[in-house]
């Protein structure tokens, strides 16, 4: 084929360009991947110190960046599914850093890595013992009456229950991508959203019991598989086509690897907690009905009286926004604010667009609602 | 390479890959049944088939896989307008069209369940024939359910490829070209994703998922039963005993935390 034929045929030129481009990326990517070691892929690097521990649960305090502006410290409570490090994935994608820069004193709970030895821990243990213990530790350490609590996903559900049972210890409550009404769906929900609801509600209660009897806990690998199945083609292409697109750019490659490191770290979900999560909440929706029991107490959402900021993601395929909205109908707070963001479930913490909004919005709201 | 060669190459690859997957499944069952019949004191084959249910499931899967190859007719009619041998594009498309890629990537649940339930292989079956049979039946059931799920995924994949081929045909008929690799991939991703998400939500798939989870739990419990039997024989703690101890410790810790809280509250007052 002559040069003139190549240059005048748009299809051929484009394909040749594509192939050349891809070839360059492949060569560069292979070299970069060969140079990167596991220790080079660091996540959750913002400096922090352990200040309290109970069994496997550890409370950390992040070292401040600037002078403190907010009177009450903020406790971040993540889910048992996945690790809290998503809120501090890397320097330029860190909700923690953004809050520290705003003069917020930030603590975080690390739930640890549950094993079969933890299979009989219940939600009552996590909420009324560990979470409340952490809140109490912060109150004593900082000499404050109340603490701001920021709950994420299942951690948000825990935080909401805690606020209902211990309203005297919570100054403000922030919820991010938190499932509240587990049966709420919207008619215009995209096809790929809400598969966890469908999957869990399809199981019989005895299936859940048998799964926990067999494995002790809800295996982290199983949860990871369910999440991966919600974006099937993306899962299939992630390690070939997608990786080829990013491999030639070191920054993109490192971003990809950090995210992968976080995704690969899937702790097991303690068996009894998993049973309650699936049966009491996903299947029977007890929280909204005010029939959800933790130990000897029933969670009454009307006991939530402190200011609440409810942040949710409009493109959340894991916890569709219908499950998170309209909490004000169920609580007694007189100050309730919703903040919808155009992002996905975890994208809300790591997307460039969210970075510019989330940290500053939370800080402004907290400063407005601190005690006088 | 001529216009039709690129798609024909893909279709030929698919035919071979489909045959390979199907043959591998059949060989696996035959080998396992042969091995079991030599290991046990009595014929295992009636039990190995699980009353022919596994053979039926495997046969159905094979039939589905082979019948899906009829879609190659539709694919071979489609053409790409590119007039150059873009070998890299062809290889990439072959990889993402390969049914083995689909079944392994989207049969993730199957792979995961299989990986975390695979237990010790049979060694000494002298005294525990019943437990071994229970284990094997649980294994057979898990395989059957896994095959059922794979069949559903493959059916969805067949529909996706059929739609993709139709779109290519339409483009060819309208004299429109898909000149870039990324355009072709984006089209395939959109179509494949939609079909996979639809099948995930279908009642047959959900029922198979539930059954697969059930059977894998039964398999795990059967493995545990055999493990506990040997542990008991050799004076080692069994899983049941350890779980009892774990429950006792959890309850004791709970009481201790409660007492600590009461003590702290009392101290404050």
A15 vs B179: CB contact, 8 Å cut-off? yes
pLDDT band at A233 (very low <50, low <70, confident <90, very high): confident
Q: Which residue has the higher pLDDT, A232 or A15?
A: A232
B210 vs A229: CB contact, 8 Å cut-off? no
- How big is the CA angle at B34 (ends B29 and B37), to the nearest 5 degrees? 125
Residues of chain A contacting residue B237, judged by C-beta atoms under 8 Å apart: none
pTM of this structure: 0.80
Give how far the C-alpha of residue A225 lies from the chain's centroid of Cα atoms, to the nearest Å: 17
Tell me, what's the pLDDT at B58? Answer: 62
Reported as a single tens digit per residue, the pLDDT across B140-179 is: 899 999 999 989 999 998 999 999 988 888 888 887 766 6
At how many degrees (to 10) do helices A195-202 and B203-233 cross?
Answer: 60
Tell me, what's the pLDDT at B145? Answer: 92
Q: Which residue has the higher pLDDT, B62 or A364?
A: A364
Among B142, B181, B183, B267, which would you mutate to test the A interface (most chain A Cβ atoms within 10 Å of its Cβ)? B181
> pLDDT > 90: what percent of chain A?
73
Tell me, what's the pLDDT at B79? Answer: 38
Nearest CA in chain B to A230: B197
Tell me, what's the pLDDT at B250? Answer: 94
Tell me, what's the pLDDT at B59? Answer: 67
Does residue A282 register a pLDDT over 70?
yes
Residues of chain A contacting residue B216, judged by C-beta atoms under 8 Å apart: 214
Tell whether the torsion through CA atoms of A31, A32, A38 and A39 is positive or negative.
positive
State how far the Cα of A28 lies from the Cα of A48, in Å rounded to an integer: 36
State how far the Cα of A217 lies from the Cα of A118, in Å rounded to an integer: 8
pLDDT band at B106 (very low <50, low <70, confident <90, very high): very low
Does residue B127 register a pLDDT over 80?
no
pLDDT band at A4 (very low <50, low <70, confident <90, very high): very low
Nearest residue, CB atoms, A225 vs list B96, B109, B179:
B109
B217 vs A10: CB contact, 8 Å cut-off? no
Give me the CATH topology for the region A46-90+103-368.
Answer: Rossmann fold (3.40.50)
pLDDT band at B82 (very low <50, low <70, confident <90, very high): very low
Is B194 within 8 Å of B164 (Cβ atoms)? no
State how far the Cα of B55 lies from the Cα of B70, in Å rounded to an integer: 23
B206 vs A216: CB contact, 8 Å cut-off? no
Does residue A224 register a pLDDT over 50?
yes
Contact residues, A window 35-74, toward B, CB-based 8 Å cutoff: 54-55
| Residue A153: active-site member | yes
State how far the Cα of A65 lies from the Cα of A100, in Å rounded to an integer: 6
Give yes or no for A215 touching B (CB within 8 A).
yes
Q: Chain-wide mean pLDDT for chain A?
A: 91
A233 vs B189: CB contact, 8 Å cut-off? yes
Nearest CA in chain A to B115: A221
Does residue B32 register a pLDDT over 60?
no
DSSP state of B40: S
State how far the Cα of A159 lies from the Cα of A239, in Å rounded to an integer: 36
Reported as a single tens digit per residue, the pLDDT across A42-85 is: 999 999 999 999 999 999 999 999 999 999 999 999 999 999 99
* A221–chain B nearest CA distance, Å: 7
pLDDT band at A248 (very low <50, low <70, confident <90, very high): confident
Residues of chain B contacting residue A118, judged by C-beta atoms under 8 Å apart: 250
Q: Which of B101-105, B163-167, B220-224 has the highest mean pLDDT?
A: B220-224
Q: Chain-wide mean pLDDT for chain B?
A: 72
Select from B256, B3, B43 the least CA-distant residue to B129: B43
- How big is the CA angle at A28 (ends A25 and B87), to the nearest 5 degrees? 40
Residues of chain B contacting residue A214, judged by C-beta atoms under 8 Å apart: 216-218, 220-221, 224
3-state secondary structure chain A: CCHHHHHHCHHHHHHHHHHHHHHHHHHHHHHHHHHCCHHHCCCCCCCEEEEEEECCEEEEEECCCCCCCCCCCEEEECCCCCCHHHHEEECCEEHHHHHHHCCCCEEEEECCCCCHHHCCCCHHHHHHHHHHHHHHHHHHHHCCCCEEEEEECHHHHHHHHHHHHCHHHEEEEEEECCCCCCCCCCCCCCCCCCHHHHHHHHCCHHHHHHHHHHHCCECHHHHHHHHHHCCHHHHHHHHHHHHHHHHCCHHHHHHHHHHHHHHHCCCCECHHHHHHHHHHHHHCCCCCCCCCEECCEECCHHHCCCCEEEEEECCCCCCCHHHCCCHHHCCCCCCEEEEEECCCCCHHHHCHHHHCCHHHHHHHHHHHCCCC
State how far the Cα of A206 lies from the Cα of A219, in Å rounded to an integer: 17
Does residue B123 register a pLDDT over 60?
no
Residues of chain A contacting residue B200, judged by C-beta atoms under 8 Å apart: 195, 198, 229, 232
Give yes or no for A20 touching B (CB within 8 A).
no
Does residue B117 register a pLDDT over 60?
no
Give how far the C-alpha of residue A369 lies from the chain's centroid of Cα atoms, to the nearest Å: 24
* A117–chain B nearest CA distance, Å: 6
Q: Which of A122-136, A181-195, B11-25 has the lowest mean pLDDT?
A: B11-25
Tell whether the torsion through CA atoms of A176, A182, A187 and A191 is positive or negative.
positive
Tell me, what's the pLDDT at B137? Answer: 87
Give yes or no for A26 touching B (CB within 8 A).
no
Tell me, what's the pLDDT at B28? Answer: 60
Q: Which residue has the higher pLDDT, A304 or B175?
A: A304
Among A223, A233, A240, A296, which would you mutate to test the B interface (most chain B Cβ atoms within 10 Å of its Cβ)? A233
Mean pLDDT of the A288-295 span: 94
pLDDT band at A2 (very low <50, low <70, confident <90, very high): very low
Does residue A268 register a pLDDT over 70?
yes
Select from A61, A157, A42 the least CA-distant residue to A108: A61
Select from B12, B183, B30, B169 the least CA-distant residue to B98: B12
pLDDT band at B262 (very low <50, low <70, confident <90, very high): confident
Select from A168, A125, A177, A171 the least CA-distant residue to A148: A171
Tell me, what's the pLDDT at B73? Answer: 45
Separation of first and last alpha carbons in chain A: 79
* B92–chain A nearest CA distance, Å: 8
Q: Which of A188-197, B28-37, B129-138 has the lowest mean pLDDT?
A: B28-37
Nearest residue, CB atoms, B246 vs list A55, A119, A204:
A119
pLDDT band at A329 (very low <50, low <70, confident <90, very high): very high
pLDDT band at B78 (very low <50, low <70, confident <90, very high): very low
Contact residues, A window 116-175, toward B, CB-based 8 Å cutoff: 116-121, 125, 129, 133, 136
List chain A domain ranges: 46-90+103-368
CB atoms within 10 A of CB A222: 21
Mean pLDDT of the A318-340 span: 95
A10 vs B210: CB contact, 8 Å cut-off? no
Nearest residue, CB atoms, B213 vs list A211, A224, A229:
A211
Tell me, what's the pLDDT at B194? Answer: 93
Among B6, B92, B200, B249, which would you mutate to test the A interface (most chain A Cβ atoms within 10 Å of its Cβ)? B200
Does residue A143 register a pLDDT over 90?
yes
Q: Which residue has the higher pLDDT, B22 or A225?
A: A225
A214 vs B217: CB contact, 8 Å cut-off? yes
pLDDT band at B134 (very low <50, low <70, confident <90, very high): confident
Select from A79, A73, A200, A83 the least CA-distant residue to A138: A73
Nearest residue, CB atoms, A225 vs list B108, B181, B196:
B108
Select from B137, B142, B132 the least CA-distant residue to B225: B132
Reported as a single tens digit per residue, the pLDDT across A164-174 is: 999 999 999 99
B217 vs A211: CB contact, 8 Å cut-off? yes
Does residue B19 register a pLDDT over 70?
no
Mean pLDDT of the A190-209 span: 93
Q: Which of A70, A80, A106, A153 is catalytic?
A: A153
pLDDT band at B56 (very low <50, low <70, confident <90, very high): low
Does residue B81 register a pLDDT over 50?
no
Tell me, what's the pLDDT at A245? Answer: 72
B210 vs A203: CB contact, 8 Å cut-off? yes
Contact residues, A window 224-263, toward B, CB-based 8 Å cutoff: 224-226, 228-229, 231-237, 240-241
Does residue B3 register a pLDDT over 60?
no
Nearest residue, CB atoms, B109 vs list A203, A229, A241:
A229
Mean pLDDT of the B198-226 span: 94
Tell me, what's the pLDDT at B186? Answer: 85
Tell me, what's the pLDDT at B167? Answer: 87
Mean pLDDT of the A135-164 span: 97
Nearest CA in chain A to B247: A120
Does residue A137 register a pLDDT over 80?
yes
pLDDT band at A253 (very low <50, low <70, confident <90, very high): confident
């Amino acid at each position: 084929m002559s040069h003139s034929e190549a240059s005048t045929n748009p299809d051929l030129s484009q394909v040749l360009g594509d192939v050349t481009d891809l070839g360059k990326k492949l060569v560069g990517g292979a070299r970069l991947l060969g140079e990167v070691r596991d220790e080079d892929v660091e996540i959750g690097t913002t400096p922090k110190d352990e200040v309290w521990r109970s069994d496997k649960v550890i409370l950390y305090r992040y070292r401040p960046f600037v002078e403190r502006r907010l009177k009450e410290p903020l406790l971040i409570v993540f889910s048992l599914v996945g690790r809290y490090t998503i809120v501090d994935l890397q320097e330029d994608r860190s909700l923690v850093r953004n809050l520290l820069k705003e003069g917020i004193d930030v603590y975080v709970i690390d739930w640890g890595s549950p094993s079969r030895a933890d299979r009989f821990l219940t939600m009552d243990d996590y909420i009324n013992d560990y979470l409340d213990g952490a809140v109490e530790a912060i109150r004593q350490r900082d000499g404050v009456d109340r603490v701001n609590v920021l709950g994420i996903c299942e951690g948000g559900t825990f935080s909401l229950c805690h606020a209902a049972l211990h309203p005297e210890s919570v100054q403000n409550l922030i919820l991010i991508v938190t499932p509240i009404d587990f049966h709420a769906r919207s008619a215009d929900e995209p096809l790929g959203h809400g598969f966890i609801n469908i999957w869990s509600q399809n199981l019989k209660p005895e299936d859940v019991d048998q799964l926990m009897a067999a494995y002790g806990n809800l295996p982290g690998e199983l949860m990871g598989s369910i999440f991966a199945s919600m974006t099937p083609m993306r899962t299939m292409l992630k390690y070939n086509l997608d990786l080829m697109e990013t491999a030639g750019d070191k920054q993109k490659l490192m971003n990809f690897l950090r995210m992968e490191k976080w995704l690969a770290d899937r702790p097991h979900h303690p068996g009894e907690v998993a049973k309650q999560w699936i049966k009491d909440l996903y299947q029977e929706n007890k929280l909204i009905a005010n029939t959800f029991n933790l130990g000897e107490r029933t969670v009454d959402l009307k006991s939530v009286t402190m200011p609440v900021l409810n942040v949710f993601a409009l493109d959340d395929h894991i916890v569709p926004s219908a499950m998170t909205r309209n909490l004000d109908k169920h609580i007694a707070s007189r100050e309730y604010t919703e903040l919808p963001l155009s992002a996905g479930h975890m994208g809300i913490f790591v997307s460039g667009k969210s970075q510019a909004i989330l940290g500053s919005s939370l800080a402004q709201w907290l400063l407005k609602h601190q005690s006088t | 390479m001529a216009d039709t060669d690129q798609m024909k190459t893909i279709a030929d690859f698919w035919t071979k890959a489909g045959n390979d997957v199907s043959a591998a499944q059949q060989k696996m069952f035959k080998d396992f049944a042969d091995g079991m019949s030599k290991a046990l004191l009595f014929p295992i084959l009636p039990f190995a088939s699980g009353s022919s249910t596994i053979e039926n499931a495997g046969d159905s899967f094979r039939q589905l896989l082979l019948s899906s190859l009829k879609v190659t007719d539709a694919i071979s009619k489609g053409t790409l307008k590119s007039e150059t041998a873009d070998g890299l594009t062809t290889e990439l498309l072959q990889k993402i069209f390969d049914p083995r890629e689909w079944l392994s990537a989207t049969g993730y649940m199957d792979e995961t369940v299989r990986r975390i339930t695979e237990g010790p292989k049979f060694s000494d079956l002298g005294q525990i024939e019943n437990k071994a049979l229970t284990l094997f039946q649980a294994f057979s059931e898990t395989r059957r359910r896994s095959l059922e799920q794979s069949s559903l995924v493959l059916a969805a994949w067949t529909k996706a490829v059929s739609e993709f081929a139709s779109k290519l045909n339409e483009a060819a008929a309208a004299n429109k070209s898909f000149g870039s690799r990324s355009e072709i991939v984006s089209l395939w991703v959109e179509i494949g994703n939609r079909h996979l998400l639809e099948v995930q939500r279908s009642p047959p798939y959900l029922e198979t998922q539930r059954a697969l989870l059930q059977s894998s739990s039964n398999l795990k419990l059967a493995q545990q039963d055999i493990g506990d039997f040997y542990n008991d024989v050799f004076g080692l703690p069994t899983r049941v005993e350890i779980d009892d101890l774990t429950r006792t410790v959890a309850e004791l810790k709970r009481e201790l935390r409660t007492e600590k809280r009461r003590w702290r509250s009392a101290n404050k007052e």
